[in-house]
Amino acid sequence: MGNSATSLAENTDIRKLYQAEARLRSDDQLWGDIDLIAWLLRDGDELDDEQRELLVIEREVYQWELYRRWDRGLTYPACDFGFARSEIERIRTALPIEAVIGLDVELKPRGKSLRGRCPFHSPSKSGMSLAVRPGHDGKWYCFGCGVGGDVLTWIMAFNHCEFTEALRRLAVMAGEPIPMRRRPQPPSNGPVREVVLR
Ligand SMILES: [Zn+2]
């Protein structure tokens, strides 16, 4: 980007990409991303102007998408893979994120965050580019490759596994009961009960 003459046109394309992505995300995921971006803009001292600009555009697009849904009275199903939302939250917040990421990558304190080497891109360039915001609702982000998320996305990315597998692995690590998927009701001869979806 750098060159301001091309910047506008490129921004328009980037906006379209973010918009397409936003449509695929649940309300909760969008709120989570907005929260993550706010943290990065506040604490991301290594962000260059271009990265900062992109994050601002991404946040704007996601907020706009949430507003659009609210404005139209749309509900968007949380992407819960058949598990109860409360079960996912219980396991997601059972351990501080640094305890989980710390098993895979050596983390060192820097300011309010923790830093480590990112396992998702070639380490030669950016050194300690992996930032972890510690805590039970912690987040991670790599300033080198721009990947980030919460504890479940970390487990998915590091182990190349699906959401369900990541949730089960985390439950085992945390010593929490492994969540059961909700199953469809078996056929019954009784009166038909209305199924209320959240
Ligand atoms: Zn990286």
pLDDT at residue 85 greater than cutoff 60: yes
- Kindly indicate the confidence band of residue 188, based on its pLDDT and cuts at 50, 70 and 90: low
**Do 96 and 158 lie in a common domain?**
yes
- Kindly indicate the confidence band of residue 107, based on its pLDDT and cuts at 50, 70 and 90: very high
198 domain residue, yes or no: no
Residues spanned by the domain of 98: 85-174
Question: In angstroms, what is the span from residue 103 Cα to ligand 1's centroid?
Answer: 17
**Do 114 and 157 lie in a common domain?**
yes
**Do 161 and 101 lie in a common domain?**
yes
**Do 168 and 94 lie in a common domain?**
yes
**Do 122 and 170 lie in a common domain?**
yes
Question: In angstroms, what is the span from residue 117 Cα to ligand 1's centroid?
Answer: 8
Average pLDDT over residues 134-139: 93
- Residue-wise burial string across 77-97, b where 16 or more C-beta atoms lie within 10 A, e elsewhere: eeebeebeeebbeebbbbbbb
- Kindly indicate the confidence band of residue 77, based on its pLDDT and cuts at 50, 70 and 90: very low
161 domain residue, yes or no: yes
Tell me what the pLDDT averaged over the chain comes to.
82
* pLDDT on residue 147: 82
- Kindly indicate the confidence band of residue 28, based on its pLDDT and cuts at 50, 70 and 90: confident
Average pLDDT over residues 160-183: 87
196 domain residue, yes or no: no
**Do 60 and 114 lie in a common domain?**
no
What's the CA dihedral at 70, 76, 79, 84 to 10 degrees? 90
Average pLDDT over residues 58-87: 74
Question: In angstroms, what is the span from residue 4 Cα to ligand 1's centroid?
Answer: 27
**Do 122 and 166 lie in a common domain?**
yes
130 domain residue, yes or no: yes
**Do 128 and 62 lie in a common domain?**
no
Average pLDDT over residues 184-197: 50
CA dist 28 → 32, 75, 103, 107 (Å): 6, 11, 27, 28
pLDDT at residue 4 greater than cutoff 60: no
* pLDDT on residue 123: 64
Question: In angstroms, what is the span from residue 149 Cα to ligand 1's centroid?
Answer: 12
Question: In angstroms, what is the span from residue 84 Cα to ligand 1's centroid?
Answer: 32
* pLDDT on residue 131: 93
Question: In angstroms, what is the span from residue 57 Cα to ligand 1's centroid?
Answer: 21
**Do 103 and 165 lie in a common domain?**
yes
Question: In angstroms, what is the span from residue 136 Cα to ligand 1's centroid?
Answer: 22
Question: In angstroms, what is the span from residue 78 Cα to ligand 1's centroid?
Answer: 28
**Do 62 and 95 lie in a common domain?**
no
Question: In angstroms, what is the span from residue 116 Cα to ligand 1's centroid?
Answer: 10
Question: In angstroms, what is the span from residue 156 Cα to ligand 1's centroid?
Answer: 15
Average pLDDT over residues 79-93: 81
Domain count, the chain: 2
Q: What is the CATH number of the domain that holds 146?
A: 3.90.580.10
**Do 55 and 99 lie in a common domain?**
no
Considering only residues 28 and 74, tell me which one the structure prediction assigns the higher pLDDT: 28
**Do 164 and 90 lie in a common domain?**
yes
